[in-house]
Structure 1
Amino acid sequence: MAKVLSGLVVGASLVLSAFLPITSDAAPTPVKQPQAQAAADVLPARPNTVRNPVRESAADPWMVFAEGNYHLLYTHGDKLVGVSAPSVAGLAAAPQQTLWQPPAGEACCNLWAPEIHQFDGKWYLYYTADNGNDAMHRMFVLEADHPMGPYTFKAKLDTGDFHSIDGSVMKLPDGRLFHLWSSGRANGQNLYVAPMSNPWTISGPPAQLATPDQPWEQNGRKVTEGPVSLIHNGKVYIYYSASACESPDYSLGVLELTGADVLSQSAWTKSSGPVFKRNDAGWVFGTGHHGFFTSPDGKEAWIVYHGVTSSNGTPVGSCSSGRAVRIGKVSYDAAGKPQLGVPKSSWETVTLPSGDPGADIVADGTYKLSPKNNPGNLLEVASCSTADAANVQVWTANGGACQQWKVTYNGDGSYKLLAAHSGKALDVANCSAANHADVIQWPYWGGDCQEWYLDALGNGYYKVLSKIGGKALDVDGCATAAGADVRVWPYWQGACQQWKLEKVG
């Protein structure tokens, strides 16, 4: 949707299923926070930070905050899907809902890059689909009364008899609507724009906006795609993805409207290089196919995009598996030009958008933690030792107290985990922030190396990240054997870094 707030207009976004907390008897129960001010004075503050990615196994993201929830849409392929949650921190665990199951025909297959926009009280969902042949990709639009639907088919958009993907709608400050999209042609994948008479009708011939004529747009293949507008203080920008999605150099460039005629390519000035690109030091690559959304209170602009990482920081790209949804805050320079910043690593903490109510709190209690790569193992203190610096490892579940951990919320978004048999804390040895630092038990003294973030992933699983360096609790080498050591390592979405918390008793 195009929404004007404090001089900011952003193309906004998406959809569905209300966030549901884990409720099984064995799973941790989030503490639900009453809204009354009196209760807020007594109950601890909800966690107000998150770490990327905010949704795994999802690409081509589009997000909007509306009707009390963030709605995140992403490519699924055979249907249109999305999730909803009141906090960004809840999107990773939110159950997926289907927004549109396509009928047989010209738009049956390969449904990509969904976006939702609100115009005149209605929600419009734009997507690309084909009949099973990629060359036949065309643009379509659905209509609903709410961001999560239910949706009904509205129209096929007339982008000409050409390959058409990644459609978006740009609403200018004067109210005019334009459709933006990408089309594969003989000279590469180009960007196009056309006027719209209403949200479902293109009313004039398309005009070419940009071609991949720069070296930084030609890594892997010649590509410019995924155009999305951002309008700030009357200035119009179109950010787009450049280079092949399978390249780690998949990145964002920008076109700035410096002339008067939106439909004239000469009226747009292209950036001299990517304005948002891979962060090798942060193990983030292939950063592209983005959208923009506003914070719940309307005061901030944020970017949502997908990126790729690897288990050892080796640069990678992907057009399929491994892509995950990430976010970052948009700032503005002295001239008012948007600054997208640098993609955040998985170990960097991000303060939630302003007005975000915060993550659910995991209830205090005694838990056992099992790694997803071998649920038969549990996190334990080796040999049930009570000694300081005793090693922490995984071992076959046996019901022992050294395989149980007392989890307590610290009130600042982090938790302490104390071994039930010794009362000593899960601790990063020597308070090291380094990769592969050892994990031990040590008397609790309140250090950051003894405090952990618990980020929900869904189905009772969490990533457990050290406050000292943001690195994840990790079964070393992703081993499945009993006795495998536990260390900290950058989070790369590995099953050996995902822990199921199950309450004991």
Structure 2
Amino acid sequence: MQARISRRTALAAGALALGATTIPATATAASARYANPLVRQRADPHITRHTDGFYYYTATVPEYDRLILRRARTIGGLTDAEEVVLWRQHADGPMGAHIWAPELHHVDGRWYIYFAAGDAEDVWRIRMYVLENAAADPYTGEWVEKGQIVTPWDSFALDATTFVHGGTRYLAWAQQEPGIDSNSNLYLAPLTDPWTISGPPVRLSRPTYDWETRGHEVNEGPAVIQRNGRVFLSYSASATDANYCLGLLTASADADLMDPGAWAKSADPVFRSSAANSQYGPGHNSFTTAEDGRTDLLVYHARQYREIDGEPLLDPNRHTRVQALGWKPDGTPDFGVPVPDSR
């Protein structure tokens, strides 16, 4: 999601961690091909493969008013899978508008959905929230609101994701920090439970490069993959038009992840618009694995055209796409370029 648009326009409109398994550097895009777009008009896609053999899919809907879920035995099966509504926005107050970027995670035997939401009376008062379901099957049981994820600042916050490293569960997210003139930066903190951070967070990145500050100064949408002795955290940058792209932070698996100095930032975007393939604004990604259990997959959204009539956030055509994530000989991810549409 983009961190800020004009209030006038808004009112008018109304990382999954995949473990530390080493994947050979020879894994390439040729090893997994999917028909794209995978799901139309679904942005900020998150796909997780559970131990029950299902792929679970969540994403932002253009109406920004509900949380949806699909599941299928294959990635391709998500295209036509039944979509169910798990939760709807409140009629008033918190969690009453701008329902954004849901992620489904299974933690200690329970299901959790992380998402961002505004207030019905103040749609840009975006904060992070969590739902919990104790049932083994997330399509059953009751989704209980666990409330807001509280951080040191009561400010614009979104895009929470969680992962485990070295026996510690972490939360990564984007937030506007008072005193810093940017729309959102990236933060990390350990968790005491799935909705409570433990101790002060650290800032991992703020938008400073030209490609991070086009239209808006944005670092958001963190996603984590752990491979080859390193922790990789991808993120989205700039406005949600054709400038939207992915950056990458890298830390050694032996490092203290709470030390900002342990993270190296890519000087250039690792994934960006491709005019040759008619894919624009690729971003807000997640990671999963292919049906073979070995090939890593990049899940993201993008549009099929560059020019947008009006505010980008009001354009519904950010479609979910998926393609294989390659690996370079040095063990770092090779995002490649957004593949062309195949349907």
TM, length-normalised to structure 2: 0.82
Correspondences of 1:351-500 after superposition (within 5 Å): none
What's the C-alpha RMSD, in Å, of the aligned pairs?
2.2
Q: Map residues 167-182 of structure 1 onto 2, 5 A cutoff.
A: 167-172=160-165, 174-182=166-174
In the superposition, relative to structure 1, how do residues 232 and 123 fare at CA in structure 2: closer, same or farther (>3 Å)?
A: same
User: Alpha carbons of 1:239 and 1:129: their partners in 2 closer, same or farther (altered >3 Å)?
Assistant: same
Partner of 1:130: 118
1:270 aligns with 2:265: yes
Asked whether 1:113 is paired with 2:97, we answer no
1:342 lines up with 2:337 in the alignment: yes
Write the letter of the residue equivalent to 1:74: A
- In the alignment, the residues of structure 1 paired with residue 246 and residue 123 of structure 2 have an alpha-carbon distance, to the nearest angstrom, of 24
| CA deviation string 1:357-379 (max 9, x = no partner) | xxxxxxxxxxxxxxxxxxxxxxx
| TM-score relative to the length of structure 1 | 0.57
Is 1:99 aligned to residue 86 of structure 2? yes
CA distance in structure 1 between the aligned counterparts of 2:76 and 2:320, rounded to whole angstroms: 12
Query: 1:78 is matched with which residue?
Result: 65
Q: Which runs of 5+ in 2 are unaligned?
A: 1-15, 24-31
Corresponding residue number in structure 1 for 2:190: 195
Q: Secondary structure at the match of 2:173?
A: strand
Aligned residues: 304
Q: Would the alpha carbon gap of residues 329 and 149 (structure 1) be closer, same or farther in structure 2, given more than 3 Å must change?
A: farther
What amino acid sits opposite 2:151 in the alignment? T
Q: Secondary structure at the match of 2:276?
A: helix
Deviation at 1:6, TM superposition (A): 3.6
Q: Report 1 or 2 for greater relative contact order, CA contacts < 8 Å, sequence distance ≥ 6.
A: 2
Instruction: Give the Cα separation in 2 of the matches to 1:5 and 1:255.
Output: 16
Query: SS in structure 2 opposite 1:219?
Result: coil
2:37 is paired with a residue whose SS is coil
* Map of 1:20 onto structure 2: none
What pairs with 1:13-24 in structure 2 (closer than 5 Å)? none
How far the C-alpha of 1:147 sits from its partner, in A, is 4.1
Q: Residue 4 of structure 1 aligns with which residue? A: 19
Q: Residue 139 of structure 1 contacts residue 159 of structure 1 at CA under 8 Å; is this kept in 2?
A: no
DSSP-derived class of the 1:136 partner: coil
Percent identity between matched residues is: 34
Q: Which whole-Å deviations, capped at 9, do the CAs of 1:426-450 have from their partners, x for residues lacking one?
A: xxxxxxxxxxxxxxxxxxxxxxxxx
In 1: Cα distance, 2:194 partner to 2:22 partner: 23
- Name the aligned partner's letter for residue 298 of structure 2: I
Instruction: Select between 61-70 and 234-243 the one with higher mean Cα deviation.
Output: 61-70
SS at match of 2:19: strand
Deviations 1:308-351 (A, max 9, x none): 013xxx5559323111000011121112111112110014xxxx
In structure 1, runs of 5+ residues without a counterpart are 9-47, 348-462, 464-505
Distance in structure 2 (CA, Å) of the matches to 1:86 and 1:101 = 26
Measured after TM superposition, the shift of residue 190 of structure 1 is 1.0
Any idea what SS the aligned residue of 1:261 has?
Answer: coil
Offset of 1:204 from its aligned partner? 1.1
Give the deviation of 1:236 after TM superposition.
0.6
Tell me which stretches of 4 or more aligned residues in structure 1 moved more than 4 Å. Answer: 314-317
| Separation in structure 2 between the aligned mates of residue 139 and residue 345 of structure 1, nearest angstrom | 34
Once residues 295 and 123 of structure 2 are traced to their aligned partners in structure 1, the CA distance between those partners, rounded to angstroms, is 37
Q: State the secondary structure of the residue aligned to 1:90.
A: helix
- Once residues 138 and 20 of structure 2 are traced to their aligned partners in structure 1, the CA distance between those partners, rounded to angstroms, is 19
Give how far 1:264 is off: 2.8
Note if contact 2:17-2:226 (Cα within 8 Å) is conserved in structure 1. no
Mapped pair 1:157 → 2:149: yes
Deviation at 1:254, TM superposition (A): 0.4
Shift of 1:3: 4.2
The answer for the alignment partner of 2:3 in structure 1 is none
Bigger Cα displacement from structure 2, 136-145 vs 211-220: 136-145
